[in-house]
Structure 1
Amino acid sequence: MEKTKEFDIKIYWLQIDGLSCHSCIDTIKKNLSELPGSVNIEIYLEDGKAFLEFDPQFIRIDRIIERIEELGFDCRLLDDVDDAESNTTITIFVEGMTCKSCTDNIETNLMKINGIHKVKADLMTKQVTITYQSSLITKDEILERIECLGFEYQTESNKQIADEIINIEMESTLDNKGKNLNKCFITITGMTCSSCVAKIERNLSKITGIHGIL
């Protein structure tokens, strides 16, 4: 079953037989990564199903299947299921990511969940983009897993609403109390990254009477 996405990326479901361990999966991934077309594949050891993405301008699906079979596995297209049609991509704003270990933790643990096909955590923007099969897992279940890992989250739409409310409140406060506001400059040592800055701003903004932090 195939579906064309933006940038002409094609998605297929494959059935790969002969998988006996995670080493088999690693072997397939390593070999496919050497092919042109930005081939991305996620393989489920339990049932041998594989979620495949690639750019058809650079490589054909039959060449990918051929490469898998050259490695000693049986591989075929799954054209009798409609799973690819139910793929959904969401962007979540996650607070608490302070280093690469945090992003690796989120990506590794979410990718273990059946139905999640792709996870990209960005430390700089605090965004986690997830592609999942909505017939196997829901957005609420994914958000619950993120909370279980010790992180707080906001969906893209909720963050936009929150930002708009904050902007309105700040504009109103400045209009009404602007004449009574004082400014001060403080030197802070020990900040090592943008997460430190964000943590200070977030906690100070909770204090009554503080209207802006730069």
Structure 2
Amino acid sequence: MPTSAPQHEPEQVPFWFDPVCPWAWITSRWLLEAEQVRPVRADWRLMSLAYLNLVQRDANQLDEGYRDFMGTAWGPIRVCAAAAHHHGPGILGPLYTAIGTRLHTQRRREDPAVIPDALTATGLPASLAEAAATTEFDQAIITSHHEAFDEVGLDVGTPVLRIRGTALFGPVVTPAPRGEAAGRLWDGLTAIAATEGFFELKRTRTRKPSFD
């Protein structure tokens, strides 16, 4: 009898995110686009901009407005950590999409209903919102955070992804490439990740984040 060709599992791409970061949000939407045209799948993981900026770095170097923002940034990532603890890591992708859509695409950054709405949209109990004000899951966040930043360094932020064993900051791009353009960006990153001794490729940002 004829046999079908072997089916290969998609390549898992660890992607560390903080839901409050607009640049990570755009990159995450690119990776979901790349999934449609390349055999890859996002493996969503947690990092904390608040921990990075207020603990690992010198918080006194931040302007007052950004320092205050970092204080509030703990809430959404704590809710993500609580959801992963109670419902498994597979919930992170849908919950990130629900939170990010409301924070960034809908521009509801000051709306206290974002987290409850996102939990409802993801089919999660509203009680998980209480995690935003506790430190119960901070160690899980910090442990996941260090998996990325112990390797990629402290002079970057989010997004961080790991491609075939190499952790990279970025890509920072706006708007998110779609279709085959998303696949070509993935192809380029695999070449970069495979280049021994590669560290940096950058230019000054001249556009604000675009969520279209």
Q: Which of structures 1 and 2 has the larger relative contact order (alpha carbons within 8 angstroms, sep 6+)? A: 2
Alignment TM class, shorter chain as reference: under 0.3
Higher Rg of the two aligned structures: 1
Q: TM-score, normalised by structure 1?
A: 0.28
More helix, by proportion = 2
Q: TM-score, normalised by structure 2?
A: 0.28
More strand, by proportion = 1
